[in-house]
Amino acid sequence: MANIPELTPTEFCERWPESRRDDVTLLDVREPAEWQAAHVADALHIPMRTVPGRLDELDPAHTWVVMCHGGVRSLRVAEFLAASGYARVFNLTGGIDAWSLEIDSSVPRY
């Protein structure tokens, strides 16, 4: 199993301020109902169960920061991506819940 680097939402925003977000994509792997309840505006939504069938949509040379509600599902997807040859993959610790607490309180908590 790959050793996936982790970032808090604050670390993500420090490393990639909004002006540099072309270099990275937040990949939200939560279920559609969770996405509808709350999401980060510029994140790409691909539910966890559909990621294997949609790898052709994800550039392996790009930087991906995977997120979910709390960081567990996203870690699994990040490990899968790394095992599939994606070299620049991070897990967002605390997920959307931590994003709401640390970055944007307008993102609803659930």
The greatest distance separating any two alpha carbons of the chain, rounded to the nearest whole angstrom, comes to 36
| pLDDT tens digit sequence for 73-82 | 999 999 999 9
Q: Tokens for 21?
A: 């977000």
* Nearest Cα residue to 23 out of 58, 63, 61: 63
Q: Is residue 15 part of a domain?
A: yes
What CATH number corresponds to the domain at position 45?
A: 3.40.250.10
| pLDDT tens digit sequence for 56-77 | 999 999 999 999 999 999 999 9
Mean confidence (pLDDT) of the chain? 96
Q: Is the pTM of this model over 0.85?
A: yes
Q: Cα–Cα distance between 10 and 98 in angstroms, integer? A: 9
Task: Give the distance from CA 95 to its chain's centroid.
Answer: 8
In eight-state DSSP terms, residue 34 is H
Is 13 annotated as catalytic? Answer: no
Tell me which of 40, 46, 68, 92 is the catalytic residue: 68
Q: What share of the chain is helix, strand, coil (3-state, %, to 5)?
A: 45, 15, 40
Q: Is residue 85 part of a domain?
A: yes
Q: Is residue 110 part of a domain?
A: no
